[in-house]
Amino acid sequence: MWTPWRRRGHLGTEADRAAFRALHQASLASPALREGLTTESAERAIRHLRALLGTPALALTDTATVLAWDGMGGGHHADQAAILTHVAVERSSTRTAERGHLHCDRAGCPVRAAVISPLVVEGRALGTVQAFAPTISAGLVRATEEVAQWVSGQLELAELDAHRNRLIEAEVRALRAQISPHFIYNSLGAIASFVRTDPDRARQLLLEFADFTRYSFRRHGEYTTLAEELRSIERYLLLEQARFGDRLQVTLNIAPEVLTVVVPFLCIQPLVENAVRHGLERAEGTGHLRIVAHDRGPDAVLEVEDDGVGEDPERVRRALAGDAGLDSVGLGNVDARLRATFGDEHGLVVETAPGAGTKVIVRVPKFAPGVSADPLPGIETRGTER
Amino acid sequence: MQTAHVPGLIAVVGVTLVTLAIGIWGLRISRTTSDFFVASRTVGPRLNASAIGGEYLSAASFLGIAGLLLVGGADMLWYPVGWTAGYLVLLVLVAAPLRRSGAYTLPDFAQARLSSKAVRTACSVLVVGIGWLYLIPQFEGAGFTLRAAIGAPEWAGPVIVAAVVLANVSSGGMRSVTFVQAFQYWLKLTAILFPAAVLVVVWLGDGRPAGPISGDDWSMPVASGATGLYATYSLILALFLGTMGLPHVVVRFYTNPDGRGARRTTVAVLALLGLFYLWPPVYAALGRVYGDRILAEGRHNVLVLELPRAMIDGIGAELLTGLVTAGAFAAFLSTSSGLAIAVSGVISQDVTGRWLRGYGERRGVAAFRLAAVVSVGVPLVVSLVAQNIGVAESVGLAFAVAASTFGPLLVLGIWWRGLTAAGALAGLAAGGVGAGGAAILSIAGISATGWGGALLGQPAAWSVPLAVVVMVVVSRLTAHRAPAHARQFLVRLHTPEWLDLPTR
């Protein structure tokens, strides 16, 4: 923390202070720009950018229109600024505009000349920074260029963030698709075996199957509630049980207080699938599966435990680190998404050893800023108390 | 040990053991495959309302009101009225939007609404302060209850309650907390209703004797004089707006599945509290007839415990005494547990969790235990040092602080998009320093007479408007720094969940 008296004591010369001021303004503008170039982010960042340049007016544009204007003359110069944008974007280089391009009949308007510098990300112009002043100086041109370059850098980082998010989204889609062939084939086979002997149960299972796929293949929404996720897990287990019969014993111990916790979509289900697949299918005899959710004050703790063959801890470590060559494809993905959503201390904890079963623990905070459940439209879930 | 203490002892030991047992082993409601479709069923409004009632009905409700009414007269009825009506304000203004905000604690709400770490920190400090202010009278009440029930020394009650709560909370006593607290409500209702019904029958059998006629003063709904009028209005304001700022009440709303569930829960809470608060006045009225000795000995605080013996003899009186003692003790335990969980949750999130950052996976548990020790220990020490704080009055002060800080923050945060972080911070500081300062002076035993005493004893009437004005004015002055997402956030707060919003 800085307090005013310390600031005076330690920051030396005027040049030092100017540098600090510039860095400070840049750091203020940075968070907005890291969200990409939109009207909203431009409006939040532009004040700080103008403070950096010290011009009477500044505009941020995309390739066609003015996104934000700070300072004077915003009303009557916006159209001219849009025209100036085209030239700079087409040439991908810094241009200047004189009085001739900026017709103005208002006395005292400081917008008489402009420096237009393009924002270039990966060789592509996304927009421009336009600095307006009564006259152009070489210093202003240089400064505007530098600011444009810095903004471009920030936008490039934003692009990287977006790439990373798209990658995670792609992985979620892959997860949805992954639920697939085995399970669908086996479930339908199990259901088919009941069609003659127990038509009611077969019908019931088919409905569960339909609801299960609707949840798992849903396209939109990043988050869901634990109740929704558990409901889908219940359906999944019901279908698996139709197949395994008494060989699969399931115990659920869920504190109802944590059902409203918001979690990333499909972040528990893969763990349960892993437990059933790796823990039980390979082991002989009856397999026990335990799913527990505790209330721990500001956190909810979830445990998925099986008494199957277990796993070499080193392999699990590699799966969590993202080694896709291993069986537990879901594990690394779930871990990454939990960390991305709630922070590094909320990753998966896996307790396992060969022959000793596996226990996966997830610790989820009840509240995290910006994390809220997306309602699932159109699904009136059965078994819900309304 | 006298024979008179036996029923009380049995009741206290019984309630303690049951509470500890539930905390340590939990109600192991496991579902096996045949019926596990129940596992994902969220808590319904009625169950949740019972749980809120169980947590909310504290020593002040169970013991305090009857004693205050006996001594102070009808104007003390504003306490039960206000404690119930607070939920009406909560229902109309706060319940559903708060749930939709996704916040678990009040600091969470502040952070989500204003995106400000500073406001979050201020709210955490206030939650801890209000929680402690509310815990102190619980421990005090436990002291004189145990003295009356089993003749224990004054310090024994606070220590026992604190130890049970601590053991419960730190051993993971949140297991099946909803069922436990809901059970506590019905236990408390039974413990106050059944003896009251018996005693009323006794009174009818005695030929309905009237109490001593002590003039009109006792039945006046407003305390006498201009200061009395001020104090009454101030109390009403504190109780109406304070309920929404109580940390242990707010966290329970998180259990509701959606905003609609939160509203329905609140309606059910109103009904349950209304049902409960009918009975303390009955004790007070009967105390006017039969309780001369209790009043003369200055033991009006334990009127509810003493009245059965004052009215009937023999085994019946002993059984009724045991029942009310069990109810009173349950009141201390449930309210203290709820507060301890809420306060330690905030402390572990914002303080101890950060201290123990390097401790890896066990950090969460260790941080929560450490926080539990702090959150129970501090009010325990204060209640042992500062003797004789009126139970209902000091709960009233906790309400005043909540009403002057979280009241404006929640109402403005939910209904006014112009609120800024700076405005909220300034308002919280104004309300918190004002009402909190008055509360600390009162607990420290500094009291003035006349208007000074009234303004310090019942600060809400000036501290709430002060906080609102400061919040609005500073927000206006810093309007350019309003959080960018305010409009979008308010849309989410006020839109029913089943409406699929096009923008996200």
Which chain A residues in 151-190 lie under 8 Å from chain B, judged by CB atoms? Answer: none
Strand order across the A113-121 sheet: A66-71, A57-62, A124-133, A113-121, A95-97
- CA distance to partner chain A, nearest, from residue B280 (Å): 31
Strands A57-62 and A66-71: antiparallel
Strand partners for A58: A70, A131
Distances, alpha carbon B212 to alpha carbons B65, B217, B287, in Å: 20, 13, 11
d(CA B364, CA B222): 50
Strands A124-133 and A57-62: antiparallel
Residue B173 clears pLDDT 70, i.e. is over it: no
* Residue A220 burial (10 A CB sphere; 0-12, 13-18, 19+): exposed
Residue A382 clears pLDDT 50, i.e. is over it: no
Confirm or reject contact between B349 and chain A (CB < 8 A). yes
d(CA B476, CA B454): 32
- CA distance to partner chain B, nearest, from residue A38 (Å): 13
d(CA B99, CA B257): 8
- For residue A124, give the H/E element and its range: strand A124-133
Confirm or reject contact between A39 and chain B (CB < 8 A). no
Confirm or reject contact between A237 and chain B (CB < 8 A). yes
Are the C-beta atoms of residues A301 and A363 closer than 8 Å to each other? Answer: yes
Q: Would residue B264 be called left, alpha or beta, if left means φ above 0 and alpha means ψ between -120 and 50 degrees?
A: alpha
Please give the structure tokens belonging to residue A242: 């139709």
Are the C-beta atoms of residues B245 and B93 closer than 8 Å to each other? Answer: no
**Which CATH homologous superfamily contains domain A179-365?**
Histidine kinase-like ATPase, C-terminal domain (3.30.565.10)
Are the C-beta atoms of residues B320 and B329 closer than 8 Å to each other? Answer: no
Confirm or reject contact between A245 and chain B (CB < 8 A). no
Q: Which pLDDT score is estimated for A172?
A: 66
**3-class DSSP state of A262:** strand
Strand partners for A251: A290, B32
Q: Which residue spans within A220-329 are E strands per DSSP? A: 223-225, 248-254, 262-264, 287-296, 299-306
Q: Phi, psi at residue A252, to the nearest 5°?
A: -115, 135
d(CA A25, CA A46): 10
Are the C-beta atoms of residues A114 and A101 closer than 8 Å to each other? Answer: yes
Please give the structure tokens belonging to residue B250: 């707010």
Confirm or reject contact between B417 and chain A (CB < 8 A). no
Domains and CATH numbers, chain B: 3-26+42-391 (1.20.1730.10)
Which among A40, A299, A349 has CB closest to B484? A40
- From the list B44, B29, B96, B127, the residue with the least C-alpha distance to B414 is B96
Class of the CATH domain delimited by A13-162: alpha beta
Which residues of chain A does B103 touch, with a Cβ-Cβ cutoff of 8 Å? 367
Q: Which pLDDT score is estimated for A94?
A: 83
Please give the structure tokens belonging to residue A97: 């505009």
Are the C-beta atoms of residues B412 and B472 closer than 8 Å to each other? Answer: yes
A198-202, A375-379, B288-292: which has the highest mean pLDDT?
Answer: A198-202
Residue B298 clears pLDDT 60, i.e. is over it: yes
Q: Would residue B207 be called left, alpha or beta, if left means φ above 0 and alpha means ψ between -120 and 50 degrees?
A: left
Confirm or reject contact between A352 and chain B (CB < 8 A). no
**3-class DSSP state of A365:** strand
Residue A333 clears pLDDT 90, i.e. is over it: no
**3-class DSSP state of A257:** helix
d(CA B469, CA B434): 13
Higher-confidence position of A134 and B170: A134
- From the list B490, B315, B500, the residue with the least C-alpha distance to B412 is B490
| Residue written as token pair 């003659």 | A196
Q: Which pLDDT score is estimated for A343?
A: 83
pLDDT by residue (tens digit) across B92-136?
Answer: 999 999 999 989 999 999 999 998 889 999 999 999 999 998 898
Q: Phi, psi at residue A182, to the nearest 5°?
A: -50, -55
d(CA B244, CA B401): 11
Tell me whether residues B108 and A260 touch, CB distance under 8 A: no
* Residue B445 burial (10 A CB sphere; 0-12, 13-18, 19+): exposed
Sequence letter at residue B76: M
CB atoms within 10 A of CB A244: 18
Tell me whether residues A257 and B36 touch, CB distance under 8 A: no
Q: pLDDT class for A220, splitting at 50, 70, 90?
A: low
Q: Which pLDDT score is estimated for B225?
A: 77
A172-176, B22-26, B194-198, B370-374: which has the highest mean pLDDT?
Answer: B194-198
- From the list A49, A187, A51, A189, the residue with the least C-alpha distance to A127 is A49
Residue B16 clears pLDDT 60, i.e. is over it: yes
Strand partners for A254: A293
Strand partners for A252: A291, B31
Are the C-beta atoms of residues A159 and A122 closer than 8 Å to each other? Answer: yes
Tell me whether residues B36 and A250 touch, CB distance under 8 A: yes
Are the C-beta atoms of residues B95 and B87 closer than 8 Å to each other? Answer: no
Mean pLDDT estimate for chain B:
84
pLDDT by residue (tens digit) across A90-117?
Answer: 777 888 887 777 777 777 777 788 888 8
Which residues of chain B does A238 touch, with a Cβ-Cβ cutoff of 8 Å? 33
CB atoms within 10 A of CB B482: 18
Which among A250, A298, A377 has CB closest to B348? A298
d(CA A290, CA B16): 31
pLDDT by residue (tens digit) across A236-293?
Answer: 888 888 888 888 888 888 888 888 899 988 888 888 888 887 766 666 778 888 898 8
d(CA B232, CA A42): 53
Kindly state the average pLDDT of the residues B133-161: 85
Q: pLDDT class for B143, splitting at 50, 70, 90?
A: confident
- CA distance to partner chain B, nearest, from residue A63 (Å): 24
Closest B-chain CA to A346: B361
**3-class DSSP state of B437:** helix
Q: Tell me the residue length of chain B.
A: 504
| Residue written as token pair 């919003």 | B501
The counts of H helices and E strands in chain B are 24, 1
Confirm or reject contact between B29 and chain A (CB < 8 A). yes
Quote the DSSP letter at residue A260: T
Tell me whether residues A252 and B31 touch, CB distance under 8 A: yes
d(CA A336, CA B315): 66
Residue A377 clears pLDDT 60, i.e. is over it: no
Are the C-beta atoms of residues A336 and A168 closer than 8 Å to each other? Answer: yes
d(CA B460, CA B238): 5
Could you give the dihedral angle defined by the CA atoms of residues B368, B374, B380 and B383, in that order, rounded to the nearest 10 degrees? -130
Kindly state the average pLDDT of the residues A339-368: 86
Higher-confidence position of B358 and B67: B67
Are the C-beta atoms of residues B107 and B350 closer than 8 Å to each other? Answer: yes
Could you give the count of Cα atoms lying within 13 Å of A366 in the half-sphere of its Cβ?
Answer: 32
- From the list B104, B159, B147, the residue with the least C-alpha distance to A372 is B104
Kindly state the average pLDDT of the residues B288-300: 81
Please give the structure tokens belonging to residue B411: 């109402």
Strand partners for A97: A114
The residues, any chain, with a CB within 8 Å of residue A103's CB and separated by 6 or more, are A80
Distances, alpha carbon B319 to alpha carbons B67, B140, B191, in Å: 21, 25, 11
Q: Which pLDDT score is estimated for A345?
A: 81
Residue A180 clears pLDDT 80, i.e. is over it: no
Q: pLDDT class for B420, splitting at 50, 70, 90?
A: very high
Distances, alpha carbon A79 to alpha carbons A9, A67, A82, A93, A195, in Å: 48, 12, 5, 20, 70
Domain boundaries, chain A: 13-162, 179-365
**3-class DSSP state of B31:** strand
d(CA B266, CA B271): 9
Q: Which pLDDT score is estimated for A378?
A: 39
Could you give the count of Cα atoms lying within 13 Å of B462 in the half-sphere of its Cβ?
Answer: 16
Alpha carbon B210 to chain centroid distance? Answer: 34
pTM over 0.90: no
Please give the structure tokens belonging to residue A26: 């840049």
d(CA B186, CA B183): 5
Q: Which pLDDT score is estimated for B175?
A: 56
Q: Which pLDDT score is estimated for B279?
A: 93
Which residues of chain A does B31 touch, with a Cβ-Cβ cutoff of 8 Å? 251-254
Confirm or reject contact between B44 and chain A (CB < 8 A). yes
Distances, alpha carbon A102 to alpha carbons A111, A113, A126, A144, B485, in Å: 8, 7, 23, 18, 35
- From the list B285, B283, B323, B318, the residue with the least C-alpha distance to B303 is B283
Strand partners for A249: A288
Interface test with B, best of A47, A238, A252, A382 (most B CBs within 10 A): A252
